[in-house]
């Protein structure tokens, strides 16, 4: 039976049975669903359209994002100037799901060589991944000069930033190279080394010394022990060719301000005896390696804090227990007159330099909530002035943070820098454009952001199946573990610096697995410690020690990282206690 006869028979049978022939499937309407994703929102993600018709989706792009395409044939995208866009899908023939390709929008900065040559500025694209944008590295060279940084004004009267450092910029802004003319070669004694020139002495008493990148046609690679010993120079610019500053090279030098490149290899003891060295400008000659990691969150958090410097704010600070421990959106909603910043990153690095950077952004009416982790108490209670390699890891994508510190208050600066640089030399180069919000805690890519705008880690963390501690490292909650002179006095000293600026400071206990405490941390010992801290600290203790000891069910992966539910419960407990203390201090009304 041919096709026509078969269809006729089918129709005849349908008529005999009293049934109408089936409607063609093509007559049914088509349902088109736009898949949700990062970087955009849509007024309605699902549309129904007759077969052969067109459908439109009205989109709003997130800040710094751009829609670049859709997986639908002949899709048309019309972009508006206000961050909106209209996606049109023509000739829809079937129900389908459509996904968009969305990228972080590249912007352009211009770099002017500013060398009198009249050369046009060089354009460099960057992704606006961060609130402040990283500047370029050493993209220019100039005979007889060292590129020592960028400035928003040609004459250096604007805002200065190190190579690779971050600055608040707009698309199309221009930065101007800042050059340091090399000091007269006659000012130096030098000798030929294995792979270049070695400076053995600096003669004369110039206030600023810019060590040439070449002497006798050889690249300057090293500065010998004692070369600058007792020199009267206040400012020193070292070239990017330099690999080694030998131990004692600047012993007794009157050095106050130093420019250095992160291509240096040996520097640990080079500046011993430079007691007046206050400012270090570390210029990036090497690509970052910690971009996208949790270390990298420090620079993003600092960006937010700097942006809110003149706003009233609540700053939460400690290590990763703060990163994992709060729902800052809930705190923000509870205190509408305040911005909220989660500055927690990593407890096993000295809290002192981080607190000093926070301090510079605080003023009257601001609130610092310090939640020190007791398993890292030596660092968290500001008991040491030593810098460590981990701090440099955290500052890597924002070296300008280093220049904000007064190094006269710190020790172990250059040994820590060398340790950081040695570790970095064996790691994979990355890009400043990477965002830690695109990766989870272990460095795996995530579909949605892993950090919110406040700095909270927001990847879903299920509750644990066991209450057992993860690491088996019991923490002491006893008075004997915290001698007043070693722990409370230095911490009070830091707190008073905040109080002197008119900020309020509150002490809160950080979360801990209740079973991850020492045997001598009995309930009585903990009660004695709590009373001891309340009496000995110069700021209020606003939470209860017992409330900080959690069932292991509410911890995720470690003994002090709360699960998602744990963080919500912790915040729910925390808000009324914060409100009560702020009300006592006249910062908010007791009823909110």
Give the Cα separation of 369 and 342 in Å (integer): 10
Backbone angles phi, psi at 526, to 5 degrees: -65, -40
> DSSP label at 106?
P
- Of all residues in the chain, the percent with pLDDT exceeding 70 is 94
What is the model's pLDDT at position 63?
65
Share of the chain above pLDDT 90, in %: 85
CATH number at residue 209: 3.80.10.10
- Structural domain total, the chain: 4
Same domain, 63 and 148: no
- 2 Cβ partners below 8 Å, 6+ apart? none
Instruction: Specify the residue for token string 């501690």.
Output: 469
Does 352 share its domain with 477? yes
DSSP-derived 3-state class of residue 232 = coil
Does 115 reside within a domain? yes
The answer to whether residue 24 is domain-embedded is: no
> What is the mean predicted confidence (pLDDT) over 143-161?
97
Same domain, 223 and 362: no
pLDDT in tens, 190-216: 999 999 999 999 998 899 999 999 999
The answer on pLDDT for 94 being more than 60 is yes
Q: How far apart are the first and last CA of the chain?
A: 83
Same domain, yes or no: 91 and 206? no
**pLDDT value of position 578:** 98
Backbone angles phi, psi at 97, to 5 degrees: -115, 130
**What single DSSP character describes residue 104?**
E
Average pLDDT value for residue range 375-379 = 95
- Residue 430 domain flag: no
| Residue 444 predicted with pLDDT over 80 | yes
Give the bridge partners for 504, in sequence order. 367
Please state the three-class secondary structure of 536-575 as a single string: HCCCCECCCCHHHEECHHHECCCCCCECHHHHHHHHHHHH
What number is the average pLDDT over the span 414-420?
Answer: 98
pLDDT in tens, 13-49: 344 344 444 444 446 899 999 998 877 899 999 999 9
Same domain, yes or no: 568 and 439: yes
In a shared domain, residues 246 and 306: no
In a domain, 538, yes or no: yes
Burial of 250 (0-12, 13-18, 19+ CB in 10 A): buried
Q: Give the number of residues written for the chain.
A: 592
Output the 3-class SS for 26-43.
Answer: HHCCEEEEECCCCCEEEC
Considering the domain boundaries, does residue 428 fall inside one?
A: no
Examine the domain organization and report whether 457 and 364 are in the same domain: yes
Q: What confidence tens digit (pLDDT) does each residue in 211-269 have? A: 999 999 999 999 999 999 999 999 999 999 999 999 999 999 999 999 999 999 999 99
Kindly report the average pLDDT of the chain as a whole number: 93
Q: Which of 64, 86, 104 is where one domain is finished?
A: 104
- Name residues whose C-beta falls within 8 Å of residue 466's C-beta, 6 or more positions apart in sequence: 552, 553
Instruction: Check residue 37 and give its pLDDT.
Output: 83
State the Cα–Cα distance between residues 196 and 174, nearest whole angstrom: 36
Average pLDDT of span 472-497:
96
Burial of 337 per CB tally in 10 Å (0-12, 13-18, 19+): exposed
Q: Which of 153, 181, 209 is the last residue of a domain?
A: 181
Q: Judge if 256 and 322 occupy the same domain.
A: no
* Cα–Cα distance measured from residue 33 to residue 47, given in angstroms and rounded to the nearest whole number: 6
Residue 301 has φ and ψ, to the nearest 5°, of -65, -40
Q: Which domain, by its residues, includes 454?
A: 294-383+435-584
Q: Do 372 and 448 belong together in one domain?
A: yes
- Contacts of residue 16, Cβ cutoff 8 Å, sequence gap at least 6: none
Please tell me the predicted confidence (pLDDT) of residue 592: 64
Domain identity same for 43 and 156: no
Last residue of a domain, one of 87, 104, 121: 104
Of 74, 87, 73, 90, the C-alpha closest to 37 is 87
Q: What is the CATH number for 511?
A: 3.40.50.1110
Q: Which two tokens stand for residue 333?
A: 């909603």
Instruction: Let me know whether 89 and 132 are in one domain.
Output: no
Specify whether 87 is located in the same domain as 235.
no
How far is 382 from 294, CA to CA, in rounded Å? 22
pLDDT value at position 4? 40
pLDDT mean over 102-109: 80
Query: Does residue 272 fall inside a structural domain?
Result: yes
Looking at the domain assignment, is residue 205 inside a domain?
yes
Question: Per the domain annotation, does 413 fall within a domain?
Answer: no
């Amino acid at each position: 039976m041919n096709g026509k006869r078969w269809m006729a028979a089918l129709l005849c049978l349908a008529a005999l049975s009293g049934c109408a022939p089936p409607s063609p499937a093509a007559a049914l309407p088509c349902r088109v669903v736009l898949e949700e994703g990062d970087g955009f929102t849509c007024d309605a993600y699902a549309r129904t359209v007759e077969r052969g018709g067109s459908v439109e989706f009205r989109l709003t792009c997130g800040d710094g994002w751009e829609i670049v395409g859709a997986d639908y044939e002949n899709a048309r995208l019309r972009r508006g100037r206000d961050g909106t866009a209209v996606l049109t899908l023509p000739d829809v023939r079937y129900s389908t799901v459509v996904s968009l390709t969305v990228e972080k929008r590249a912007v352009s900065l211009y770099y002017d060589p500013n060398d009198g040559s009249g050369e046009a500025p060089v354009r460099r694209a960057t992704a606006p991944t961060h609130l402040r944008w990283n500047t370029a590295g050493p993209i220019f060279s100039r005979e007889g000069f060292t590129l020592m940084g960028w400035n928003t004004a040609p004459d250096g009267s604007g805002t200065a930033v190190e190579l690779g450092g971050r600055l608040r910029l707009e698309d199309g802004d221009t930065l101007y190279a800042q050059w340091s003319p090399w000091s007269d070669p006659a000012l130096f004694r030098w000798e030929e080394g294995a792979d270049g020139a070695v400076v053995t002495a600096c003669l004369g008493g110039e206030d600023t010394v810019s060590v040439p990148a070449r002497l006798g046609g050889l690249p300057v690679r090293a500065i010998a022990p004692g070369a600058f010993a007792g020199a009267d120079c206040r400012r020193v610019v070292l070239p990017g060719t330099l690999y080694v500053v030998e131990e004692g090279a600047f012993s007794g030098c009157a050095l106050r301000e130093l420019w250095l490149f992160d291509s240096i290899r040996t520097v640990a003891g080079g500046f011993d005896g430079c007691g007046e060295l206050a400012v270090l400008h570390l210029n990036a000659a090497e690509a970052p390696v910690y971009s996208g990691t949790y270390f990298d969150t420090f620079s993003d958090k600092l960006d937010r804090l700097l942006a809110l410097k003149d706003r009233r704010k609540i700053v939460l600070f400690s290590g990763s227990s703060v990163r994992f421990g709060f729902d800052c959106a809930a705190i923000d909603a509870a205190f509408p007159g305040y911005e909220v910043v989660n500055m927690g990153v990593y407890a096993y690095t000295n809290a002192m330099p981080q607190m000093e950077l926070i301090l510079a952004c605080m003023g009257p009416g601001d609130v610092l909530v310090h939640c020190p982790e007791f398993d890292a108490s030596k660092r968290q209670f500001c008991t040491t002035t030593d810098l460590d390699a981990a701090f440099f890891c955290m500052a890597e994508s924002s070296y300008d943070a280093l220049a904000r510190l007064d190094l006269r208050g710190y020790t172990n600066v250059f040994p820590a820098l060398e340790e950081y640089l040695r570790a970095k030399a064996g790691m994979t180069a990355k890009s400043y454009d990477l965002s830690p919000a695109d990766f989870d805690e272990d460095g795996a890519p995530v579909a949605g952001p892993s950090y919110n705008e406040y700095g909270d880690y927001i990847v879903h963390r299920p509750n644990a199946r066991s209450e057992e501690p993860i690491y088996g490292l019991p923490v002491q909650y006893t008075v004997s573990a915290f001698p007043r002179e070693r722990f409370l006095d230095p911490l009070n000293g830091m707190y008073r610096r905040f109080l002197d600026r008119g900020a309020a400071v509150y002490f809160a206990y950080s979360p801990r697995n209740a079973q991850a405490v020492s045997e001598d941390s009995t309930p009585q010992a903990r009660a004695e410690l709590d009373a001891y801290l309340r009496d000995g600290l110069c700021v209020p203790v606003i939470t209860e020690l017992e409330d900080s000891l959690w069932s292991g069910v509410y911890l995720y992966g470690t003994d002090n990282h709360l699960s998602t539910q744990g963080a919500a419960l912790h915040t729910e407990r925390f808000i009324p206690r914060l409100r009560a203390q702020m009300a006592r201090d006249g910062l908010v009304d007791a009823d909110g």
